[in-house]
Amino acid sequence: MGRQEGWLHSIEKDAPLDTYHIDHLGPMLSTQKRYQYIFVIVDAFTKYVWLYPTKSTGVTEVLDHLIQQSAVFGNPRRIISDQGSAFTSNDFKSYCADEGILHDLIVTGVPRGNGQVERVNRILIPLLTKLTMTQPTQWF
């Protein structure tokens, strides 16, 4: 017997800034400032997108940007992410617990579980490709 397939359940979208979908995009060619990735945050309710260039996919840069984000907008009630190492680290778990944020991990191999941020990534890739055709290291 194989794995039984089922429906994905929609995520409640109660208010703006209530739920964030997060992910990394990259690696890309390194810029002069050595950025290779983009940390993407999507608000589930408004679909507003924040893009932060990063040098790695490590937890330190993720937490720095989430802290920066919360200083302006406050903490979300929930964060949804894939199972990247930054999002499954003890530091990330501690941050979420300390700030009272629910952290939901999507199932490995099912990127549509984090579809909002994956959709943004699907738009960004061809956009960045066109914008950087003549100078591939100047995407930021």
Whole-number pLDDT of residue 50: 97
What are the residues facing 78 on neighbouring strands? 19, 102
pLDDT of 102:
97
Residue 78, domain member (yes or no): yes
Residue 128 pLDDT: 80
- Grouped pLDDT means (10 residues each) for the chain, 140 residues: 58 87 92 93 95 96 98 97 95 98 84 75 83 77
Positive or negative: CA dihedral 82, 28, 72, 116 = negative
Query: Residue 140: inside a domain, yes or no?
Result: no
Examine residue 25 and state whether it is found in any structural domain, yes or no.
yes
The structure's pTM equals 0.87
Starting at the edge strand that comes first in sequence, how are the strands of the sheet with 78-81 ordered? 49-54, 37-43, 19-25, 78-81, 102-105
The Cα 48–Cα 50 span in angstroms is 7
Cα–Cα distance for residue pair 28/129, rounded to 1 Å: 10
Q: Could you tell me the residue range of the domain that residue 116 belongs to?
A: 19-132
- Nearest one of 28, 51, 46 to 137, comparing CA atoms: 28
pLDDT score of 113: 66
> DSSP 3-state assignment of 97?
helix
State the total domains in the chain. Answer: 1
Sheet strands (E) in 1-140: 19-25, 37-43, 49-54, 78-81, 102-105
Instruction: Provide the CB-side half-sphere exposure for 61 (13 A, CA).
Output: 18
56: domain CATH number?
3.30.420.10
The verdict on residue 120 lying in a domain is yes
pLDDT at residue 140, rounded to an integer: 67
In a domain, 102, yes or no: yes
pLDDT at 115: 74
Q: Is 59 a member of any domain? A: yes
